Structures are given as structure tokens and as C-alpha cells.
């Protein structure tokens, strides 16, 4: 499933980023790499999502969140 | 290599507390490069440690050193080329893993690094316990815990950094990338070495890694220096990359990032302990409200409203003081010349410099307050939330939340706004944001509104009027951005990715320094650009001076004098004074009153008395409403005074009163009219007037007369010059010293519709020359600043034309 479908409060694991090199590298620099644990902090169904990664908080636009494939723990 | 001063560079993620530490270390000994002309905005400061001068440089905040954004490139190039003696990496202890990513990349650059483990207070509150000694051993760098806001650990940090700088450096830790990756790096590195392809200042191992990562900046530089055989090398690198991809299942760039994070996670697992409820922090609780789907937007709008409210209400009293100060200064300087003197120097000082610079400096309180508010929003971490809240709306115009921050900064000044677009990675998004950013009404335009709005709109409409102007700017920006994204910069919106830093209580010191920096730049502009432009505009408004006035003015002069003489002659006849000519001279204070006989003297004394009573009455009733009891009281008092006077000398009183209230009053009015005619003629004759006349046919349809032409041109130098120049246009050849304030003069000459059109035109038309320069620099081309200047001016013209012409039909 996509990160954009993860409801608020749910914990997931990153499987892959299905995006171009640019976005993939940017997300990697921020620590969004395969295997990492992500907790959804806020997903309102539209607009960007807020996630916790590596003990920090991040905003991901909905478009980007859709490209992040995850699986539920 | 013995250097006389030690150079320390501060690196770190945005919001890690670099600037706070920088301010703590350097205090007042710091300096910010000015924007225009300087390629990189650089903050430098000095301090002394053990008698040695230490230079500190605050590098731009970055998450990594991959040089995908301008900031990263600047930071990386600085470290590689300027070779600071030590890099202090400011790390946010409450977000350790992510912050250490930059640290690891710094280790790889082969410079001595000291880690400032900042925000240890925040980390402790969140239940994050860091074993500093252990972490320091694992990373093989000195680590100093600090609390930037309280200055804790700053001394130790400085001492440690200086020690590290003075010790010979034997290389930092090598990240374990695993056999396959390391072997590939070695192969490329050998290849580079064998060809001698090492850029000065770079390290072969590091270059090899960048080749595998596909770092565009490094590739470009290498290609420029070693073009021959470069393609062959690239082929080899591609083969290595493909090999790694097959072997390890991912792009080497991602693999490197993965190994670095792996290394960091390993170190953190050993040295960091998290308490289970580490997450439920105050920040999250604030976010639950502030970024709430329902409440987020209203809270944001409320905050914006408060910012503007603060800017104006709190700013008003100090503005009055500054105004009074410059008024006093003008009078003082005028007083150095005998009354009525026509000295050009006096005019230059009073009408040119004091009126011009004073007219602008008066807005310093507004500027300071606006930047104060922006600094608080930025330092507290709210700006990032604003980007989140606005992302959905920004998406609708084809931009994303990140474009919102530069646009918000645009309300302060377009220059930092344009510079802040650097955080937008996508070129199309960035250009769109840059092009529309001047439509966010900047602080320099505030003086224009602050001058015009109170002159034309009743107090209860002043706030809404200002709001309307700002809103028009925003709406225009939205429409223009939409148009640009749909027609010029087509393509998908780039992904929106941003760190959401925890909230921090901004420090007074940090906020004040930020505010002062902006205020200083503004004052500097007032002292240089605006001073120069004021003198120039004064000169073209004052010169050339007409040598004589045309027939019609001279005829009127004669007529005014004739009428006055006739009235006085009638009075002289009634007084039976033999020589009316003499009486005229005496009344004009050109001859001594002794020349008149007893009866004449009584008349003169009565005239003086009546003048005194009348001016006393005017002074008292100036601020009174004509229906008020106080006014009636004043009238009664005046009439009583008149009655007493009449009783003393009934004949002289009637004549004297007739003289003061009609003959003299008419004469004064005639003279004032003449002065206005002469001033208007002199203005037409001056260079400014001629320019105005040339432009008038173009400006007329917008409702602008020629007096507005030169200020509008002046506004290109800096928007606030408009106010200064308008002051000059109306001050040169001023009808008389008490002809009222600039606002009153504007009120007499223009309609509210024209006033609105002036603001509208200045809001939308070409941005100031400094913005032009920054856009040129940031887009690295002449095309975009030119497109922006002409496009916006054209848009302003068309829009103002429509508003004025349609408005005229209604009003
Ligand atoms: N609680 C706490 N706040 C800090 C500390 N250091 C900096 N801050 C705050 O963090 C915010 C960002 O700091 P700043 O120096 O602007 O970060 P920069 O982006 O790295 O320059 C400001 O509001 C500072 O007041 C610290 O050690 N503890
Ligand atoms: Mg900073």
C-alpha cells in the first residue's frame, strides 16, 4: 500500500520509493530508506501528510506520499 | 601553515540552532553581507580565544552535502575551497539520526569536525538520553553538549574547536560501505589518480564516491577541467554503477545513503536511550491544534491579522516621534538662514535631504515590527506549519507549500523572498515563485500606503483599505502563478518534502538581532540609495529655475497689488492720512510707523490688537468643532475683546477691522494664489516637470498628473522613494511655510479614486532595482528580471487603467 493510504496513528515499514531518482535521493537523504519504520502523525485524506521518521517529524506532499510504498507491521 | 586567525565554520541542519550559537559566540561582533552585488549571503563574526582572533562563519542550513540545492552547494564549496580550520556541526539532539547525516558527510570531506550537540534541553524533556562520551568514541569526533538559547556549553565548545583546529588533523572516521561499494570506490579513485584527475582541494576517494553517486555539481566541474577522455571515464563509472545495481539491487546513491544511515543508527543504538513516551511532546500537542484540518487556516489568518495590527498600531507613536524629530531638524536648519532667504543650499538640505530621507526613515518602526513578527514566526517553527497548512491551497495554483514561505517573506522584503526560493528544488516552481513574489506587497511599499490611506479614507475604512491592497496583491499573484504554470512552466508540481522542526521558544536576543539586521539594511538604504536619489530628484525638481514669469502671472501680480493699494487708499482717505503710499509701506512693514501722525498711529495699534485677537481665536478653535460649546465660548470671548477695543476708539476700530478682515485677508489670499501659480510654473520649467509633461499623456488615462511622474520613476530605485520624492515635489516652491502637511496637499489635489490607483499601480508595477538585481543573480540570466519588470509594469498599467476608467463612471 501507499503511505498516503495509511491512517493517522498507524505504524508501517517502508518497502520502496517508486519515484524518479531526484525524489528518491531527497527522501533517502532525509532517512526514508527501505526498512525504516514510519508512524503516520496526521493524514487528513487530502493535502500533505505528517509522519514521524527516525524520531523526527516531516511533511510529505500527497503526491510524494503516494509514491512511498509501505507495509503494515 | 600558521594562520594568524582561526576560522571556524558553523554547519548544520536548518533550525538546529546555528544562528543562535553564532550570536552567542560573536555577540555584537558580527557582520552580514548585503544582498545586491554579493554573490553569497554570508554571516561572519569574530571572537577572541586565548588572545587569538577566531573568525566564525554561519553557513546556510542544509540537510546534506549532496549539492542539490544552492545552499548545499554554497556550504560544500566553502568547506572544500576555503578550508576552515575546523567545522562545528550544530546537531539537534532531539532529532539526532537525521542531523548526524550531515555530520557523516562532513567527516567524509576530510576536515576536522567538532559536534555541538545542541538542544540538549529539548532532548531531555522528550526523554532522549544521549551518552555523549560513547557517541564521541563511536564517531571519533569531539562532542560538546550545548543549549544555544541559554549559552550553555558555548565556552567549552569554542575551546574544543580551537584545540581541534590547532592539533594536526589525521583524518576522520571512514564509514563502512561494505566490500562491494568500497571496492568500486577504490577502482574509480585509482582511475582518477592514475590520470591525475584530481581537482585542487578535493580528495580522490571522495571524488570517486561522488562519481558513483552521480553528483551533478562534481561531474560538471570535472568535465570542465578534464574534458578529454571524460566520456570514456563516464562509461567506466556507468559500468560500475550497473554492476552495483545488479549486485545490491539499488542505485549506488541510495546505497550510500542507506549505509550512512545504517552507520548512524548503529551508533545511536549504542549511545542513545529513548524513554517509551518520548513522542508525546508539547510540540505534538500544539500541532494537534495549529495544523488541525478545521482550525489550521483560521489560526493562520488570525496570526497574519495580528502581525499587521502590531505593525501599525504599535508603530504609530514612534513614527510620530521620528516625524517630529525631522520636522524640528528641518526648522532648525532653516533657522540658520535669515528668514525669506532663497539659498540653494538651504533648499537642498531642507527640501531635498531632510524631506526625502525623513519621509522614508519615518517608516523604520513599521519595518522593525514587521520583521520582528516574521522573526518570531520563523524562529518558533511556525513557518513550516504555515507551509503545511497552505500546501493544499498552493497546490490549486500549481505550486506547493514550500513556495509559501518565500511569498510570506515577500511581505517583508522581496529580496529575502527571492533568496528563500532556493529551498524549492524544482526549477519551474522556483521561477514561478520568483516571478510572482513582488506582488506580495513588501515593507517598502508600506510607507506609500501609510501616507496615502489616512489622507483619503475615513479612519474606519483605513484598515479595510490596507487589507484590500494586500489582498489584491495576493490575488494577482495567485492568478499570475496559475497562468505561468499553465502556459509557461508547464509540468507536474514537484514533490513537497519538508522537515517539521519542533516548536521552540524564540530568544529575545535572536529575534532582536534578526530585526536589527533588517532595520540596519533599511537605514543603510535610506542613508545611501535614498539619500542619493533624494538629492538627484531634488535637483531635477528645482532646476532649471525660470528667469522670469510669463505675462499672465505678471498681470495677476499687478492686479493683486493694485486691489490692495486701492483698499488701503480708501482707508487712508477715511483716516484722513495725507499719504496713502506711506500707509501701504507701513502695513507691509517696509517702513517705520513713526512716519504717521496721531490718528494713523491709533489705527495701526488697533490693527495690531485685532490681529492678536484673531490669531488667538484661530489658535484656540483650530481643533474645535464649530457646533461645540467650547467653540461658542471662544466666539463669545473674541467678540467681548472686540467690544472693549471698539469702546476705546470706535472710528479706528471699524476701519482697522475692515482692513484686517477684508483688505489684508484678500491680499494674503491673492499672494498665496500667485505663489502657487509661480510654483506650478517653476515645476513645469524644471527637468522633473518636463519629464512629467512628456509622460503625462501616458499617465493621464490612469488619473495621474505630471507631479506623480517623477516619483513613480523614483520608485524604481526603491519603492519608498516615491514618498520622499512626492514630499520634495510638494516642498520645493512651497506656497508658504504653513501650507499644511503633504497629506493635506495631496487631499486637495487628488480624488480617493486617484489615490487608490496610485497605490494599485505601485503595488503591481516593476519591483525595485535591488529586486531586479537579485532576480538576475538568482536566475542567472537577464531574461527573467526583464520579463518580470516589463510584464508587471504592463499588468499594472492595464489594471490601473481599467480601475480608473470604470471607477470614474461610478463616482
Ligand atoms: N530549547 C532550545 N531552543 C533552541 C536551542 N538553540 C536554538 N534554539 C531555538 O531554535 C530556533 C532555531 O534556531 P536558529 O539558531 O535560528 O537555527 P538555525 O536555522 O540553525 O540558524 C530558535 O527559535 C532558537 O531560539 C537550544 O539549545 N534549546
Ligand atoms: Mg540560521
The percent of residues in chain B predicted with pLDDT above 90, rounded, is 25
Question: Based on the structure, what is the number of domains in chain A?
Answer: 1
pTM of the model: 0.73
The alpha carbon of B546 and the centre of ligand 1 are apart by a number of angstroms equal to 62
Q: Is residue B565 predicted with pLDDT exceeding 70?
A: yes
Q: Is residue B220 predicted with pLDDT exceeding 50?
A: yes
A51 contact residues in B (CB cutoff 8 A): none
Which residue has the CA at smallest separation from atom 22 of ligand 1? Answer: B379
Using alpha carbons, select from B239, B245, B246, B184 the residue that is nearest to residue B210: B184
Which of B61-70, B152-161, B193-202, B617-626 holds the top average pLDDT? B152-161
Report yes or no: A49 at the B interface, CB cutoff 8 Å: no
Contact B29, B79 (CB under 8 A): no
The CATH number linked to A54 is: 2.30.30.90
Contact flag B498-A58 (C-beta cutoff 8 Å): yes
Q: How confident is the model at residue B35 (pLDDT cuts 50, 70, 90)?
A: very low
Positive/negative CA dihedral, B36, B38, B41, B43: negative
**How close A66 comes to chain B (CA, Å)?**
10
A24 contact residues in B (CB cutoff 8 A): 251, 254
Report yes or no: A11 at the B interface, CB cutoff 8 Å: no
Please enumerate in sequence order all residues whose Cβ is within 8 A of that of B51, keeping only pairs 6 or more positions apart, or say none.
Answer: none
Which residue has the CA at smallest separation from atom 26 of ligand 1? Answer: B119
Report yes or no: A57 at the B interface, CB cutoff 8 Å: yes
A21 contact residues in B (CB cutoff 8 A): 214, 251, 253
What CA–CA distances, in Å, run from B261 to A27, B17, B112, B265, B378?
12, 22, 21, 6, 29
Q: Is residue B38 predicted with pLDDT exceeding 60?
A: no
Q: Burial-class residue B168 by CB neighbours within 10 Å (0-12, 13-18, 19+).
A: exposed
B400 contact residues in A (CB cutoff 8 A): 61
Q: Look at residue B752 in the predicted model and tell me its pLDDT.
A: 92
All three cell numbers of B213: 553517486
Ligand 1 in reach of B514 Cβ (< 6 A): no
Q: How confident is the model at residue B490 (pLDDT cuts 50, 70, 90)?
A: confident
Contact flag B497-A64 (C-beta cutoff 8 Å): yes
Q: Look at residue B732 in the predicted model and tell me its pLDDT.
A: 60
Identify the nearest ligand to the CA of B62 by its number: 1
Report yes or no: A61 at the B interface, CB cutoff 8 Å: yes
Contact B285, B152 (CB under 8 A): no
Residues facing residue B114 across a β-bridge: B88
Contact flag B254-A67 (C-beta cutoff 8 Å): no
Q: Is residue B1 predicted with pLDDT exceeding 70?
A: no
Residues facing residue B45 across a β-bridge: B30, B56
- Spell out the alpha helix ranges (H) of B65-144: 70-77, 96-108, 120-125, 132-139
Contact flag B392-A48 (C-beta cutoff 8 Å): yes
DSSP-derived secondary structure letter, B706: G
**Average of pLDDT values for A43-49?**
87
pLDDT in tens, B379-391: 888 988 888 888 8
Using alpha carbons, select from B710, B689, B788 the residue that is nearest to residue B533: B710
H-helix or E-strand spanning residue B130: strand B128-130
Nearest to A29 among B66, B283, B388 (CB): B66
Total beta-carbon pairs less than 8 A apart between chain A and chain B: 121
Contact B251, B241 (CB under 8 A): yes
Pocket test for ligand 1, best of B9, B15, B499 (most atoms within 8 A of CB): B15
DSSP-derived secondary structure letter, B169: P
Q: Is residue B270 predicted with pLDDT exceeding 90?
A: yes
Ligand 1 in reach of B410 Cβ (< 6 A): no
All three cell numbers of B124: 531531555
Q: Look at residue B169 in the predicted model and tell me its pLDDT.
A: 82
Q: Which atom of ligand 1 is nearest to the CA of B380?
A: 23
Ligand 1 in reach of B153 Cβ (< 6 A): no
Contact B198, B207 (CB under 8 A): yes
pLDDT in tens, B721-773: 788 778 777 766 554 434 456 788 888 889 999 999 999 999 999 888 778 87
Q: How confident is the model at residue B673 (pLDDT cuts 50, 70, 90)?
A: confident
Q: Is residue B29 predicted with pLDDT exceeding 80?
A: no
Ligand 1 in reach of B15 Cβ (< 6 A): yes
Count of CB atoms situated within 10 Å of the CB of B803: 18
Structural domains for chain B: 6-166 (3.40.50.300), 179-248 (no CATH), 296-537 (no CATH), 551-677 (no CATH), 678-810 (no CATH)
Edge-to-edge strand ranges of the sheet holding B52-58? B30-32, B43-49, B52-58, B5-12, B86-92, B113-118, B143-145
**How close A63 comes to chain B (CA, Å)?**
6
Q: Look at residue B33 in the predicted model and tell me its pLDDT.
A: 54
Q: What is the largest CA-CA distance in chain B?
A: 123
Contact flag A59-B101 (C-beta cutoff 8 Å): no
Please enumerate in sequence order all residues whose Cβ is within 8 A of that of B69, keeping only pairs 6 or more positions apart, or say none.
Answer: B62, B422, B423, B425
Q: Look at residue B306 in the predicted model and tell me its pLDDT.
A: 84
B66 contact residues in A (CB cutoff 8 A): 25, 29
pLDDT in tens, B419-428: 778 767 677 8
DSSP-derived secondary structure letter, B690: H
B283 contact residues in A (CB cutoff 8 A): 57
Contact B772, B785 (CB under 8 A): yes
Contact flag A31-B128 (C-beta cutoff 8 Å): no
Q: Look at residue B41 in the predicted model and tell me its pLDDT.
A: 58
- Residue A68 lies in domain: 3-72
Of B354-368, B502-516, B638-652, the one with minimum mean pLDDT is B354-368
Pocket test for ligand 1, best of B20, B22, B24 (most atoms within 8 A of CB): B20
Report yes or no: A9 at the B interface, CB cutoff 8 Å: no
**Average of pLDDT values for B181-190?**
92
Integer Cα distance of B89 and B74 in angstroms? 15
Integer Cα distance of B145 and B126 in angstroms? 16
Q: How confident is the model at residue B40 (pLDDT cuts 50, 70, 90)?
A: very low
Of B182-196, B352-366, B551-565, B582-596, the one with minimum mean pLDDT is B582-596
The percent of residues in chain B predicted with pLDDT above 70, rounded, is 93
In this prediction the ipTM stands at: 0.94
**Average of pLDDT values for B218-222?**
87
Closest residue on chain B to A19 (Cα): B495
Report yes or no: A13 at the B interface, CB cutoff 8 Å: no
Compute the mean pLDDT over every residue in chain B, rounded to the nearest whole number. 84
B96 contact residues in A (CB cutoff 8 A): 55
* Phi and psi torsions of B30, nearest 5°: -140, 170
**How close A64 comes to chain B (CA, Å)?**
5
Amino acid at each position: 500500500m501507499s503511505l498516503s493510504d495509511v491512517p493517522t496513528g498507524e505504524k508501517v515499514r517502508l518497502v520502496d520509493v517508486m519515484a524518479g531518482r531526484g525524489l528518491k535521493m531527497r527522501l533517502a537523504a532525509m532517512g526514508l530508506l527501505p526498512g525504516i519504520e514510519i508512524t503516520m502523525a496526521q493524514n487528513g485524506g487530502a493535502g500533505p501528510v505528517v509522519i514521524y521518521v527516525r524520531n523526527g517529524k516531516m511533511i510529505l506532499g500527497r503526491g510524494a506520499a503516494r509514491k512511498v510504498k509501505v507495509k503494515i507491521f | 601553515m600558521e594562520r594568524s586567525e582561526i576560522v571556524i565554520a558553523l554547519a548544520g541542519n536548518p533550525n538546529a540552532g546555528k544562528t543562535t550559537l553564532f550570536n552567542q559566540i560573536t555577540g555584537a561582533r558580527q557582520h552580514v553581507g548585503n544582498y545586491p552585488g554579493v554573490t553569497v549571503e554570508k554571516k561572519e563574526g569574530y571572537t577572541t580565544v586565548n588572545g587569538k582572533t577566531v573568525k566564525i562563519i554561519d553557513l546556510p542550513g542544509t540537510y546534506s552535502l549532496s549539492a542539490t540545492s544552492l545552499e548545499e552547494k554554497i556550504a560544500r564549496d566553502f568547506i572544500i575551497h576555503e578550508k576552515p580550520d575546523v567545522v562545528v556541526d550544530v546537531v539537534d539532539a532531539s532529532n539526532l539520526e537525521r542531523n548526524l547525516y550531515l555530520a557523516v558527510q562532513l567527516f567524509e570531506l576530510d576536515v576536522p569536525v567538532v559536534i555541538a550537540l545542541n538542544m540538549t534541553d529539548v532532548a531531555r524533556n522528550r526523554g532522549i538520553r544521549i551518552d555523549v562520551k560513547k557517541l564521541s568514541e563511536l564517531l571519533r569526533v569531539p562532542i560538546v553538549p550545548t543549549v544555544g538559547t541559554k549559552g550553555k556549553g558555548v565556552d567549552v565548545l569554542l575551546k574544543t574547536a580551537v584545540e581541534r583546529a590547532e592539533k594536526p588533523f589525521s583524518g576522520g572516521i571512514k564509514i563502512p560501505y561494505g566490500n562491494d561499494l568500497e571496492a568500486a570506490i577504490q577502482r574509480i579513485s585509482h582511475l582518477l589518480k592514475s590520470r591525475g584527475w584530481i581537482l585542487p582541494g578535493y580528495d580522490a576517494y571522495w571524488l570517486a564516491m561522488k562519481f558513483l553517486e552521480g553528483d551533478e555539481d562534481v561531474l560538471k566541474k570535472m568535465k570542465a577541467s578534464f574534458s578529454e577522455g571524460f566520456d570514456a571515464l563516464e562509461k567506466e563509472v556507468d559500468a560500475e554503477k550497473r554492476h552495483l545495481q545488479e549486485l545490491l539491487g539499488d542505485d549506488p546513491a541510495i546505497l550510500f545513503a542507506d549505509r550512512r544511515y545504517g552507520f548512524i543508527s548503529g551508533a545511536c543504538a549504542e549511545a542513545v536511550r529513548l524513554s517509551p513516551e518520548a513522542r508525546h511532546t508539547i510540540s505534538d500537542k500544539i500541532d494537534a491544534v495549529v495544523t488541525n484540518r478545521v482550525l489550521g487556516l483560521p489560526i493562520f489568518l488570525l496570526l497574519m491579522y495580528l502581525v499587521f495590527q502590531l505593525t501599525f498600531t504599535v508603530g504609530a507613536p514612534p513614527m510620530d516621534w521620528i516625524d517630529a524629530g525631522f520636522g524640528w531638524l528641518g526648522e532648525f536648519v532653516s533657522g540658520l538662514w535669515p528668514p525669506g532667504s532663497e539659498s540653494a543650499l538651504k533648499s537642498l538640505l531642507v527640501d531635498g535631504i531632510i524631506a526625502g530621507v525623513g519621509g522614508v526613515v519615518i517608516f523604520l518602526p513599521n519595518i522593525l515590527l514587521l520583521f520582528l513578527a516574521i522573526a518570531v514566526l520563523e524562529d518558533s517553527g511556525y513557518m513550516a506549519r504555515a507551509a503545511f497548512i497552505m500546501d493544499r491551497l498552493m497546490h490549486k495554483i500549481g505550486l506547493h507549500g514550500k513556495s509559501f514561505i518565500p511569498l510570506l517573506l515577500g511581505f517583508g522584503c522581496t529580496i529575502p523572498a527571492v533568496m528563500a526560493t532556493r529551498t524549492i528544488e524544482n526549477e519551474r516552481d522556483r521561477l514561478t515563485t520568483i516571478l510572482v513574489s513582488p506582488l506580495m506587497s513588501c515593507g517598502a511599499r508600506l510607507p506609500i500606503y501609510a501616507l496615502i490611506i489616512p489622507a483619503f479614507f475615513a479612519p474606519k475604512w483605513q484598515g479595510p483599505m490596507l487589507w484590500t491592497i494586500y489582498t489584491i496583491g495576493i490575488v494577482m499573484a495567485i492568478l499570475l502563478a496559475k497562468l505561468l504554470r499553465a502556459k509557461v512552466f508547464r509540468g507536474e508540481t514537484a514533490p513537497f518534502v519538508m522537515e517539521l522542526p519542533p516548536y521552540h521558544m524564540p530568544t529575545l536576543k535572536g529575534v532582536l538581532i534578526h530585526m536589527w539586521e533588517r532595520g540596519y539594511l533599511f537605514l543603510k538604504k535610506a542613508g545611501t540609495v535614498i539619500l542619493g536619489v533624494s538629492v538627484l530628484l531634488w535637483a531635477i525638481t528645482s532646476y532649471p529655475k525660470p528667469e522670469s514669469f510669463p505675462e499672465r502671472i505678471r498681470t495677476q501680480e499687478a492686479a493683486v497689488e493694485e486691489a490692495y493699494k486701492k483698499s488701503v487708499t480708501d482707508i487712508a482717505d477715511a483716516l484722513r492720512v495725507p499719504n496713502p503710499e506711506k500707509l501701504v509701506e507701513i502695513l507691509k512693514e517696509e517702513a517705520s510707523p513713526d512716519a504717521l501722525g496721531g490718528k494713523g498711529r491709533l489705527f495701526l495699534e488697533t490693527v495690531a490688537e485685532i490681529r492678536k485677537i484673531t490669531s488667538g481665536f484661530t489658535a484656540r478653535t483650530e481643533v474645535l468643532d464649530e457646533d461645540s460649546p467650547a467653540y461658542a465660548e471662544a466666539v463669545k470671548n473674541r467678540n467681548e475683546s472686540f467690544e472693549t477695543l471698539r469702546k476705546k476708539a470706535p472710528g479706528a476700530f471699524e476701519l482697522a477691522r475692515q482692513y484686517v478682515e477684508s483688505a489684508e485677508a484678500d491680499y494674503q489670499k491673492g499672494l498665496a494664489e500667485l505663489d502657487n501659480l509661480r510654483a506650478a510654473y517653476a515645476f513645469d520649467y524644471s527637468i522633473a516637470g518636463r519629464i512629467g509633461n512628456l509622460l503625462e499623456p501616458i499617465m493621464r488615462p490612469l488619473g495621474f498628473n505630471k507631479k506623480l511622474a517623477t516619483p513613480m520613476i523614483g520608485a524604481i530605485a526603491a519603492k519608498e522613494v516615491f514618498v520622499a520624492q512626492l514630499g520634495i515635489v510638494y516642498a520645493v516652491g512651497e506656497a508658504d511655510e504653513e501650507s499644511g502637511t503633504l497629506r493635506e496637499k495631496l487631499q486637495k489635489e487628488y480624488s480617493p479614486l486617484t489615490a487608490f490607483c496610485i497605490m494599485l499601480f505601485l503595488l503591481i508595477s516593476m519591483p525595485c532595482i535591488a529586486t531586479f538585481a537579485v532576480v538576475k543573480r538568482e536566475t542567472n540570466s537577464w531574461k527573467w528580471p526583464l520579463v518580470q519588470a516589463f510584464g508587471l509594469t504592463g499588468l499594472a498599467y492595464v489594471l490601473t487603467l481599467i480601475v480608473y476608467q470604470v471607477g470614474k463612471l461610478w463616482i
